[in-house]
């Protein structure tokens, strides 16, 4: 005690509606081991019982206006104190009405400054009010973006890791001990900082005045942070709209601009504005528009009053004794801010994904208390692990998948799956560009699934082929996992749900999708089980909150991006539901509540994949198409058994129990009947559409519709119905005599077992030689790919040995890649007729037609009819240039290229062309023909003017040139960019609506704050 007797300490308590915390604060002051020499309280017109509590404690009270700031309240108390006597060691101890110092706090503060005469301000270690192990501060600073900097981790536990006496920029005013003479010398707290950041500003000014500021962790105080956590109103003068965050951000910017070196102000202004915009965007994403507005208004309130900053800087200049550079060591480096921000974001994500349970788990040692530690532990036995149905099921499926995928361990293509581009950059470029060099060229919008695959490829370091290979390899396991998460809601018996999920992953539609490269159907198989889980009650859809509706909207939009069949299914399901609601004659508010949510699920996914979805309204066949090459599905009889047919599908004799299960469940008295009704509806739709042929993806001939997506619904409903039936079947069979149920159960078990054995056996033998293979040779020979963007007419034979047909398409010098079939233009009738005449030998003018459309080569892929090859050799206009094992190549004679210039005298010449746009020169007036599909976005500029555009005899774009000079060809992508912007806005909006909403600090409970 002797070392503290020479100090005179006056404790100043500032109260403002603090009755919740004030009793503990007064008790803490009264229990100090080194009592304050004097205690005075300043109350800012509290609306609660704060003044009564202060008077009851016999503490002298000074009254102030309600809008009096903290610094002004302290100044009132200092002014009432006796005049300071030079040479005396007089200190003021600032106490918030929500800050309770521990009994030794003042004693330890005075000990810390005993041998440090240069110290003007010392503060304690601040711990939480509710959680007293949570360290809040041990000295503070300010970051370049205005953030309050403590250097601590989020919710850091106090284990003494920061103990000691530290030089700091400043300390919190909660519990701060300040020399009175220096406080008065520096002019006290800045009156412009009525609340928040006044502590940092004072510490900064004390530092540049040559004084020291320290924090001693031996002194401890518990702080509730009531104003910052919005536990009470902020009524101080200057608190615009009484918003704490706005005032805090405004004051942070004020402190930086008023105290920093003048040459730092431009950079700080940019930082403050940029960080305010970034944080406002974050708050908008968290659905906290008020906080977002606070961030921007905080900067705006300073911008409109620059005189305040100028005046503050002039005042500080008069008190500055040392260089402002002494502060730089206390400002946190940028990497520290980034590291701490990343840690906080990671912690938030972790808390969302892996929340910590409220009840702590028992100690490991306590669990061993009753065990004899001398008894040897049992050795690990794999047989016990394999008895777990989940482990055994997933392991068995993984082994089967590896065996059947032995020819798919590399870059995949074949079947409906086109070759993957080399990287994600190619996919992003393909998605963003307005013109696609496919066939005769296309301005069709890229489907949104390209962006999904590009985004996923980006996460795989841009390796698109690796992503596709891993996806097809992991698809069966993902399908089983997704099904199991749904089926376990129907039954808790894993011996039912695991085999059912296993069969779903090896269903006919799943095997056919993997073998034939059906991306959309695989995505549907994975997503479909999640839809009923998200939408818990479809009939009473109004009971689902909007967040859940928008989450399902995103899931449906992803599925719709792969196939517009999703829209057809949604239209049917939602239409029937709306009709049912109407027939129930519901009250209007209830009917409208259901209607809005159902229409959201129908319209929003369709809009989110626009404009590709809107183009389908003009080309209705797209509603039945899937990504990739348009391969035919199976016949109706095969579809009825749940098998989509087509290349890579199970043979007809591997009959699945899907139809039998649905029929049995239809006569069930349990919930299985509802699943059966859904399943039969999907199966009926599959049978109906399998009888339709469609023409899409640039094909001229119709192909039978692939109905895999419809069969996904039928298969899932069948499996779900089977689980519901089996879950209660054992009890029913035991309780009843032998009758038809026993016979049906036995028949179903036999058929299911036979299907399992036959499907697994086929998939690991003949099924492994599926159309989708790794490292398959391309169609185009290497020497034809050397000439970039050269059109080549490719002829090849497709089909079975006894039913071969000749297929032709236009190649741009390389094999077709992922996404290109989806935007391919339709066949040009003139080229189609010329190709047919070329094959049957009557194509005398075929070379002229090909030349006029810019086709430079004709390539016949081996094996091919030798008669047709000889026929082409005999026709005029084709010069054979190569004959290899890959095939035969002819060059089309005549002037042919991408850009053809025809002079006034009729002379034709080929101009230099780029991949899409071009810049070249013409020697005089004439016409320029672009051998691409006509599109209004094609433009040619000469001398800053657009040339007139028209269609020539072949409906190709033609431009009239009136003089010699340089020309620039371009395809205007303004419309595409507009659609992309709208799409980005729409996706952002829906994601925000689906995301969990943030909460204001006042909405967070005291327990959570602790």
pLDDT of residue 1008: 62
Rounded Cα distance between 886 and 816, Å, is 17
Position 838 scores a pLDDT of: 87
**Low-confidence spans in the chain with pLDDT less than 50:** 1-4, 358-374
Query: CA-based angle 770:772:776, to the nearest 5?
Result: 115
Distances (CA, A) of 955 to 11, 440, 836, 894: 91, 12, 20, 20
Is residue 501 a contact partner of residue 437, using CB atoms and an 8 Å limit? no
Q: What is the pLDDT of residues 450-470, one digit of tens each?
A: 999 999 999 998 999 999 999
Distance CA 957, CA 279 (A): 49
pLDDT computed for residue 761 by the predictor? 92
Cα dist from 37 to 7, 42, 106, 172, whole Å: 9, 17, 11, 22
Name the residue among 399, 592, 609 with its Cα closest to residue 506: 399
pTM higher than the cut 0.85? no
153-183 burial code (b ≥16 CB/10 A, e <16): eeeeebeeebeebbebbbbbbbbbbbbbbbb
Q: Which CATH architecture has domain 7-337?
A: Alpha-Beta Complex (3.90)
Q: Are 926 and 949 in contact (CB under 8 A)?
A: no
SS3 state at 57: coil
Predicted local confidence at residue 352, as pLDDT: 59
SS3 528: coil
**Domain boundaries for CATH 3.90.550.10 within the chain:** 7-337
- First-to-last C-alpha distance (Å) of the chain: 35
CA distance 531 to 535: 6
* Distance (Å, whole) CA 247 – CA 259: 18
Give the residue from 122, 247, 137 showing the smallest Cα distance to 195. Answer: 247
Residue 12 is predicted with a pLDDT of 96
Contact call for residues 916 and 436 (beta carbons, < 8 A) = no
pLDDT at 801: 59
* Model pLDDT, residue 370: 44
CA dihedral 52, 58, 63, 69 (to 10 degrees): -90
Distance CA 519, CA 295 (A): 45
């Amino acid at each position: 005690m002797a070392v503290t007797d020479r100090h005179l300490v006056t404790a100043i308590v500032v109260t403002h509606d603090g009755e919740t915390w004030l009793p503990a604060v007064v008790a803490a002051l009264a229990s100090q081991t080194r009592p304050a020499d004097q205690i005075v309280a300043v109350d800012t017109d509290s609306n609660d019982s704060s003044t009564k509590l202060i008077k009851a404690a016999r503490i002298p009270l000074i009254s102030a206006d309600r809008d009096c700031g903290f610094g002004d309240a302290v100044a009132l108390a200092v002014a009432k104190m006796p005049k300071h006597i030079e040479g005396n060691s007089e200190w003021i101890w600032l106490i918030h009405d929500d800050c309770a110092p521990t009994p030794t706090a003042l004693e330890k503060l005075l000990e810390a400054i005993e041998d440090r005469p240069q110290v003007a301000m010392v503060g304690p270690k601040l711990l939480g009010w509710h959680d007293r192990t949570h360290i809040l501060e041990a000295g503070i600073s300010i970051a370049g973006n205005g953030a309050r900097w403590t250097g601590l981790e989020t919710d850091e536990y106090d284990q003494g890791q920061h103990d000691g006496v530290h030089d700091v920029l400043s300390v919190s005013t909660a519990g701060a001990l300040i020399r009175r003479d220096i406080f008065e010398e520096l002019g006290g707290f800045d009156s412009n900082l009525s609340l928040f950041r006044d502590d940092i500003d004072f510490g900064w000014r004390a530092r540049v005045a040559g004084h020291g500021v320290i924090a001693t962790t031996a002194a401890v105080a518990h702080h509730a942070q009531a104003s910052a956590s919005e536990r009470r109103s902020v009524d101080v003068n200057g608190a615009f709209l009484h918003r704490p965050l706005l005032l805090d951000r405004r004051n942070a910017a004020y402190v930086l601009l008023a105290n920093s070196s003048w040459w730092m102000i431009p950079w700080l202004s940019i930082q403050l504005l940029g960080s305010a915009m970034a944080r406002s965007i974050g708050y908008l994403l968290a659905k906290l528009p008020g906080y977002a507005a606070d961030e921007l208004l905080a900067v705006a309130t300073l911008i409109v009053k620059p005189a305040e900053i100028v005046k503050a800087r002039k005042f500080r200049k008069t008190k500055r004794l040392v260089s402002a550079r002494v502060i730089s060591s206390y400002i946190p480096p940028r990497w520290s801010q980034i590291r701490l921000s990343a840690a906080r974001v990671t912690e938030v994500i972790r808390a969302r994904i892996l929340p910590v349970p409220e009840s702590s788990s028992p100690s490991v040692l306590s669990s061993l208390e009753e065990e004899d530690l001398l008894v040897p532990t049992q050795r690990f036995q794999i047989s016990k692990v394999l008895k777990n149905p989940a482990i055994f099921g997933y392991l068995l499926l993984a082994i089967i998948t590896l065996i059947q995928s032995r020819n798919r361990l590399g870059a995949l293509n074949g079947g409906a799956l086109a070759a993957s581009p080399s990287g994600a950059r190619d996919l992003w470029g393909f998605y963003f560009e307005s013109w696609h060099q496919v066939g005769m060229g296309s301005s069709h919008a890229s489907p949104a699934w390209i962006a999904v695959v590009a985004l996923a490829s980006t996460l795989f370091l841009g390796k698109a082929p690796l992503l596709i290979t891993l996806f097809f390899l992991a698809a069966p396991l993902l399908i089983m996992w997704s099904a199991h998460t749904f089926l376990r809601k129907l039954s808790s018996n894993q011996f039912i749900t695991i085999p059912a999920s296993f069969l779903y992953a090896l269903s006919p539609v799943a095997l056919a999708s993997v073998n034939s490269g059906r991306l959309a159907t695989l995505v549907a198989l994975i997503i479909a089980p999640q839809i009923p889980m998200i939408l818990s009650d479809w009939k009473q859809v109004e009971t689902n909150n909007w967040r859940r509706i928008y989450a399902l909207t995103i899931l449906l939009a992803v599925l719709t991006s792969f196939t517009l069949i999703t829209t057809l299914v949604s239209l049917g399901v939602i239409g029937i539901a709306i009709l049912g609601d109407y027939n129930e004659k519901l009250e209007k508010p209830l009917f409208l509540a259901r209607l809005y949510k159902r229409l959201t699920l129908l319209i929003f996914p369709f809009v989110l994949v626009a404009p590709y979805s809107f183009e389908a309204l003009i080309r209705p066949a797209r509603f039945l198409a899937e990504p990739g090459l348009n391969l035919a599905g199976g016949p109706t009889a095969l579809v009825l058994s749940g098998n989509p047919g087509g290349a890579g599908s199970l043979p007809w004799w591997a009959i699945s129990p899907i139809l039998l299960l649905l029929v049995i469940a239809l006569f069930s008295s349990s919930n299985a009947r509802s699943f059966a009704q859904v399943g039969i509806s999907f199966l009926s739709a599959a049978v109906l559409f399998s009888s339709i042929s469609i023409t899409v993806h640039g094909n001229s001939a119709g192909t039978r519709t692939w109905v895999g997506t419809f069969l996904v619904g039928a298969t899932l409903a069948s499996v779900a119905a089977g689980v519901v039936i089996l879950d209660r079947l054992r009890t029913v069979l035991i309780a009843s005599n032998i009758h038809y149920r026993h016979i049906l159960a036995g028949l179903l078990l036999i058929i299911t077992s036979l299907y399992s054995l036959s499907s697994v056996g086929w998939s690991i033998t003949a099924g492994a030689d599926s159309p989708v293979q790794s490292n398959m040779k391309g169609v185009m020979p290497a020497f034809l790919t050397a000439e970039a963007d050269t059109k080549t007419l490719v002829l090849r034979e497709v089909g079975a040995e006894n039913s071969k047909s000749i297929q032709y398409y236009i190649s741009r010098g390389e094999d077709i890649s992922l996404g290109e079939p989806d935007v391919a233009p339709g066949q040009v009738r003139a080229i189609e007729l010329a190709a047919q005449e070329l094959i049957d030998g009557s194509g005398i003018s075929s070379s002229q037609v090909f030349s006029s459309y810019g086709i430079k080569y004709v390539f016949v892929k081996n094996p091919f009819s030798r008669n047709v090859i000889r026929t082409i050799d005999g026709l005029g206009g084709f010069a054979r240039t190569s004959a290899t094992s890959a095939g035969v190549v002819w060059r089309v004679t005549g002037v042919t290229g991408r850009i053809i210039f025809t002079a006034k005298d009729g002379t034709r010449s080929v101009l230099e062309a780029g991949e899409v746009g071009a810049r070249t020169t013409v020697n005089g007036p004439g016409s320029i023909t672009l051998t691409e599909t006509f599109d209004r976005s094609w433009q040619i500029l000469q001398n800053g003017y657009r040339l007139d555009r028209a269609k020539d005899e072949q409906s190709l774009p033609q431009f009239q040139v009136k003089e010699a000079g340089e020309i620039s060809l371009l395809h205007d992508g303004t419309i595409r960019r507009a659609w992309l912007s709208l799409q980005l806005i729409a996706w952002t909006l829906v994601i925000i609506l689906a995301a969990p909403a943030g909460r204001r600090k006042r909405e967070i409970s005291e327990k959570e704050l602790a």
